[in-house]
Amino acid sequence: MKIALNIYKYLPAKGGGEGYIANFANQLVERGHEVHIYASKWESNNNKIHYHTIPSVRFPKFLKDVTFVINGLREMSKYDFDIVHVVGRALGMNVFNPHCGVEKAWLKQNFLSISCPVSRALQQIAGFFSFRQNFILWLDRKQYTGKGVSRIIAISDMIKSDIIKYHNIEPEKIDVVYNGVDLNRFNPDNKNRYRKAMREKLSLDEELVILYISNNFRLKGLLTLVKSLGELKKSGKDFKALIIGRGNEAPYRKLAEKLDCLGNLIFLGHVGEIEKYYAASDIYVHPTFYDSCSLVTTESLASGLPVITTIYDGASGIMDDGKDGFVMRDPEDHKALAEKISLFFNDEFRQKASIAAREKAEKYPAKQNCEEIIKIYNEVVA
């Protein structure tokens, strides 16, 4: 098949959604398909893939989205593809695979993640009058209801439910295919390779190490995590928390200092070779307000890390609450989060959860994810 994959940025080294698409594209090539990448910015990681630049105006943000959609339609129409697979904000596809989820659901949870009522109200008012937000809402509706879209691939059951709820799409048109994970790269055996060296590098001893990764600290619940660490500190627990990702650290440092747990936090910013940090850690905590299907959750499970996340993380749909981790209902309940984390100070409990985490991840290999999507491609072409 001749396949076009459309994503705003194709930067495989970044990991996350972009890393997933890069791995997926490589697997398609390995199976003999002709793959074309369409992106505003891209880095080549496979000389068998065809790369195309979609010009887009970077500023203002409103024009960035509009020009990417318009120019993407023009560029992709130059070739005759069997499959046009879009994962972000674009049109012209016959397979839509929304990795960011449903815009209305995201907006609702994003507003809830703003702790200050005044700031939340101001954000809502600004959004109501925002050209960009209104364009994205229009585009979101168009992507789900467009006549050319044959199939929608939801990356979690949560996203399928949101699509039906907000856009009234027939359930039969939606396939659920959870993201696959690289079981070789993310593996409990990495602890034997990297744990000792990484712990020495980070000046860690034998304390429990909690891992948190995000480039959106507010939406992904860092405030709740810091408050929970304050509770753990009061109880005399011995722990360290690794905070990885880009964001404004200042308010969280200030809060941690007030709660007397700043010395227990290590802010690392953006890092490479993320698998080494999984190896250095004991549990992964992700108290998110919204995540379509968090890749860090599945990568943690594959690495043998028990996970604490929320019902607003689509990846929680594959977890067994209390077995391979915990799924919280309220992303703001820091006391409940502290109680869940406390259970992992028990070595036996943590080790059982670690084994269950890996067993769960093994049900979702990247190879299986690719095969399920190719099956959908064949049905669309037929």
Question: Are 80 and 87 spatial neighbours (Cβ–Cβ below 8 Å)?
Answer: no
Element holding 10 (H helix, E strand): strand 9-10
Region 178-201: what's the mean pLDDT?
A: 95
- The CB density around residue 51, as the number of other CB atoms within 10 Å, is 16
- The CB density around residue 120, as the number of other CB atoms within 10 Å, is 15
Alpha-helix residue ranges (DSSP H) falling in the chain? 16-30, 61-76, 103-112, 117-128, 131-145, 157-167, 190, 196-201, 222-234, 250-258, 274-280, 295-302, 334-343, 347-361, 366-381
Question: Are 336 and 328 spatial neighbours (Cβ–Cβ below 8 Å)?
Answer: yes
DSSP 8-state secondary structure symbol assigned to residue 82: S
Give yes or no for residue 58 having a pLDDT over 90: no
pLDDT band of 262, cuts 50, 70, 90: very high
* C-alpha to C-alpha distance for 202 and 190, rounded to whole angstroms: 17
**pLDDT (tens digit, 9 = 90+) per residue, 282-317?**
999 999 999 999 999 999 999 999 999 999 999 999
Give pLDDT, residue 99: 92
* C-alpha to C-alpha distance for 296 and 293, rounded to whole angstroms: 9
**pLDDT (tens digit, 9 = 90+) per residue, 225-258?**
999 999 999 999 999 999 999 999 999 999 999 9
Q: What's the burial of 57, exposed, middle or buried (CB within 10 Å: 0-12/13-18/19+)?
A: middle
Question: Are 376 and 150 spatial neighbours (Cβ–Cβ below 8 Å)?
Answer: no
Region 217-221: what's the mean pLDDT?
A: 97
* C-alpha to C-alpha distance for 334 and 169, rounded to whole angstroms: 36
* Phi then psi dihedrals of residue 129, to 5 deg: -100, 0
* Residue 321: both structure tokens together: 């609450």
Give yes or no for residue 61 having a pLDDT over 90: no
Question: Are 27 and 108 spatial neighbours (Cβ–Cβ below 8 Å)?
Answer: no
Q: Return the sign of the alpha-carbon dihedral for residues 324, 211, 14, 201.
A: negative
For the chain, the first-to-last Cα distance in angstroms comes to 12
**Count of residues making up the chain:** 382
Give yes or no for residue 59 having a pLDDT over 90: no
Pairing of strands 83-86, 283-285: unpaired
Give pLDDT, residue 75: 95
Q: Which domains does the chain have, with CATH numbers?
A: 2-180+365-381 (3.40.50.2000), 190-361 (3.40.50.2000)
**pLDDT (tens digit, 9 = 90+) per residue, 326-361?**
999 999 999 999 999 999 999 999 999 999 999 999
pLDDT band of 15, cuts 50, 70, 90: confident
Q: What's the burial of 117, exposed, middle or buried (CB within 10 Å: 0-12/13-18/19+)?
A: exposed
* C-alpha to C-alpha distance for 117 and 125, rounded to whole angstroms: 12
Instruction: Identify which of 265, 256, 250, 263 has the alpha carbon closest to the alpha carbon of residue 227.
Output: 256
62 or 175, higher pLDDT: 175
Lowest mean pLDDT among 13-27, 49-63, 129-143, 347-361: 13-27
Inter-CA distances, 229 with 213, 264, 285, 349, Å: 16, 8, 11, 20
Give pLDDT, residue 60: 83
The reported pTM is: 0.93
